[in-house]
Structure 1
Amino acid sequence: MEPTARFLDLADPTFDVTSPTVLQAREESFWARTSYGHAVLRHAEVTALLKDRRFRQGNARWPAQNGIHSGMFSDWWHKVLLSLEGEEHLRLRRLLNPAFKQQVIAAMVPGFAELAHELVDGFSERGRVEFISEFAEPYSSRVLCRLIGLPEEEWAQVARWADDLGKCFGVRIKEDLPRIEAALEGLYGYCDEVVRDRTAHPRDDLVSDLVRHQQDGRLSAEELSVALVFLVFAGMETTRNQLGLALQTLFAHPGQWELLAQRPDLGRNAVEEVMRVNPTVTWITREALEDVDLGEGLVLRPGDIVQVLSHSAGTDPRAQPDPSFDIAVEHPMHMGFGGGMHHCLGHWVARMDMAVALPILAARMPDARADGAGEWLPVSGNTGAIRYPIAFTPTPRVARPTAEPVPQ
């Protein structure tokens, strides 16, 4: 019989994975029981588990865990990079990797800065903004369009589909399934049109590269469609959510917003700090491949699911003398981009575009603070703001800036 352990109801939309309940569970033991298998809560055990070859990515089981066993979404989910393992996963990852290397993204930094200033110009003089629709969504979507090679003027439609498909990472996935599948159908059709265009008119972009891989037999037509749809929604939705969470976090810690405005060189560390204490990806899933005894009574059998709780691990006082939020301090590695073979493919994009955007926002939105409660996703699964109204001291529009420094 499994020993008594605290139960965390991750499937409950009202449950908060950053709550005192979770932190108290972390003090009692490094693990807990949950609605979706077991959870690991402490930094050392989490770090070890993400590198442990006795586990594989557990996301393939996610639809079934929520009662979804067939249909368009279930079929697609089992073919995306996130759900694949072994040689198949490595082959697809090798084909996608070149577009996401650090030096490729670094070359885009001046464009990130120009885009951020352009968007802030749209609301800086009025001193109020609905941050998600007026900045986070267009910024993340337009960056994604540039990276992949989609027409940037079509960002709004792409963002709507990506937003609806992003609900598949939430704990309300079953009730959101009709919207998820409608978005999936829309994105499939859109991406297939883009592929046809690049087949006839190749360019210097990721879509054209993938079309060439398909033409030379390294990628099937289905794999190409599945990969493009996944890249579009994952690349936009997570960055948009993380930007809103970044402002929420910086506002909650006096002096940090002002420090970031004065020290734009801290943009990169600000991103890491925010993802350590307030990540959009609140858990990472692993599945046991064999019998595993993790200690303290946690014995897993093949097929058992373990959730790594990102916030709990990132704020574990055992891993750092002072786990409090401070953008001027480097803390141990966070879990916001996963780990092991499934470490986030687009982590350099997210790191750099947010590291550019956050100091610009801090400098051009002085005294910024939440202007009402806003509307938020559950703090479980993938979380973030749906609406986030912000007020600040108005500032003038600016002339196009000189090149911003590349975040180090």
Structure 2
Amino acid sequence: MSVPYFDLADPSFDVTSAVVHAAREDHWYVETSYGHAVLRYAEASALLKDRRFQQGNAKWPAQNGIHSGLFSDWWKETLLSLEGQDHLRLRRLLNPAFRNKTIEAMRPTFQALANELIDGFAPRGEVEFISEFAEPYASRILCLLLGLPDSHWERVAHWADDLGKSFGIAIKSDLPRIEAALEGLTGYVEEVIADRLVAPREDLVSTLIAAHEDDDALSRRELSVALVFLAFAGMETTRNQLGLALQTLLKHPDQWRLLAGRPELGANAVEEVMRVNPTVTWITREAIEDVDLHGLHIPAGGIVQVLSHAAGTDPAAMPEPAFDITETHPMHLGFGGGVHHCLGHFVARTDMSAALPLLAQRMPDAVPDGSGEWLPVSGNTGALRFPIRFTPTAATPQPEPEQASADATRGQVRSAAGG
């Protein structure tokens, strides 16, 4: 039986569509414009852990006709493209800053930031969700993690947004903007590194500079590349996933109301959203040797995609695949798997689970206010603009004077730490 062919590079093709679901019933894989693609959960989960495959993103620029230049050279050096000891060494040096305990301690800060942003639109009863919440929330958290001044979030977000186009299927036409953003963000990061070399602080940049001086040292170039990649990948994916989370929850108003009443479901809401509506719609792997996989021969160098949504909603793995924040389903594949499992997954899980219940509580009866503007549902997807209306609510009550003074003192300390 011949398998279907999907053109993943076609902006009109939706990887979450009924066409994909129908193909999944008959085949565990399909042919695509970017190699084979796995549709079923069992095969997808196994492939991501299969040591006969490595991360396939290193070839992404070349697959789109980009073989040289500033972006192509930088892409080859990122954590996403590295393999073997180089990849393990970089992850080992970065891991301490992204441990669950470290990030969970920041939850109150994330919640305070979410409430501050919601205060700006809650009394109006309407919001353009991406520009007024998702983007500033993701970018300001990133600045906090990296020890960058909070006042620089818009500049960082602009660069990260343009660099994020490198994950999109229009990468070649967007290349001038991508390279301009890469040049700008790299220059900014180099200034931050130079500052921390002179005056170390309690932040991720200083931590990595300390590692830069150890026996297994990061080179100055490795340090710069790692920080630029963390800056754009961390902001862009979180912003996109927040927009997709609201899209999904507002399609299920009963779940939106439930989340408002039971904020402890925030963590599971994140998992459910990423299972049924992930920003990373496919995960790429490359065969490092000839592989025979369930009757499919994949030659060394062959590319295989895992379609996250198709795998995450596979009825064979989850008899009740419908979106439900009270249910625990098999682990979704939105953060990848194996040795390339997303380094920042604790950050994404924590900041989104902190924000979503607050949004549900303070945006009652929320509904989309028009269709918005969305990226193609292929590659990395998300909203460019997503207007929402809801029943207006009051701003967060201001703290008592004594508490306000203590908060201001903590804010000064945070500001000093952040530059």
TM-score range, shorter chain: over 0.9
TM-score, structure 2 as length reference:
0.94
C-alpha deviation, 1:345, in angstroms = 0.2
In the alignment, structure 1 residue 252 sits paired with structure 2 residue 256: no
Kept in 2, the 8 Å contact 1:57–1:83? The answer is yes
Q: What is the match of residue 406 of structure 1?
A: none
C-alpha deviation, 1:279, in angstroms = 0.0
Q: C-alpha deviations, 1:156-198, integer Å up to 9, x for none?
A: 0000000000000000000000000000000000000000111
Q: What is the match of residue 45 of structure 2?
A: 47
Structure 1 gap segments, 5+ residues each:
403-408
Q: What is the match of residue 230 of structure 2?
A: 231
Aligned residues: 399
Return 20-29 or 177-186, whichever deviates more. Answer: 20-29
Cα distance in 2 for residues equivalent to 1:42 and 1:62: 23
Paired letter, 2:39: L
Cα distance in 2 for residues equivalent to 1:254 and 1:332: 24
Q: What is the match of residue 417 of structure 2?
A: none
Paired letter, 1:226: V
Q: What is the match of residue 300 of structure 2?
A: 302
Q: What is the match of residue 112 of structure 2?
A: 114
In the alignment, structure 1 residue 38 sits paired with structure 2 residue 36: yes
Cα distance in 1 for residues equivalent to 2:397 and 2:100: 29
Q: What is the match of residue 372 of structure 1?
A: 370
Kept in 2, the 8 Å contact 1:31–1:298? The answer is no
TM-score, structure 1 as length reference:
0.97
1:198 equivalent among 196, 199, 216: 196
1:341 equivalent among 339, 345, 357: 339
Q: What is the match of residue 99 of structure 1?
A: 97
Q: What is the match of residue 405 of structure 1?
A: none
Q: What is the match of residue 266 of structure 2?
A: 267
- The runs of 4+ residues in structure 1 deviating greater than 2 Å are none
C-alpha deviation, 1:400, in angstroms = 5.1
Paired letter, 1:376: W
Closer/same/farther in 2, CA of residues 6 and 175 from structure 1, 3 Å limit: same
Q: What is the match of residue 390 of structure 2?
A: 392
Kept in 2, the 8 Å contact 1:114–1:400? The answer is no
Kept in 2, the 8 Å contact 1:63–1:69? The answer is yes
* Aligned-partner SS, 1:174: coil
Q: C-alpha deviations, 1:274-297, integer Å up to 9, x for none?
A: 0000000000000011111112x4
Cα distance in 2 for residues equivalent to 1:371 and 1:141: 25
Give runs of aligned pairs for residues 165-244 of structure 1, distance below 5 A. Answer: 165-217=163-215, 218-244=217-243
Cα distance in 1 for residues equivalent to 2:365 and 2:397: 22
C-alpha deviation, 1:150, in angstroms = 1.0
Q: C-alpha deviations, 1:191-225, integer Å up to 9, x for none?
A: 00000111111001000011122233511000000
* Aligned-partner SS, 1:386: strand
Q: What is the match of residue 352 of structure 1?
A: 350
Return 34-43 or 248-257, whichever deviates more. Answer: 248-257
* Aligned-partner SS, 1:173: coil
C-alpha deviation, 1:254, in angstroms = 3.1
Cα distance in 2 for residues equivalent to 1:213 and 1:313: 38
Q: What is the match of residue 148 of structure 2?
A: 150
Q: Aligned-pair RMSD on alpha carbons?
A: 1.0
C-alpha deviation, 1:152, in angstroms = 1.1
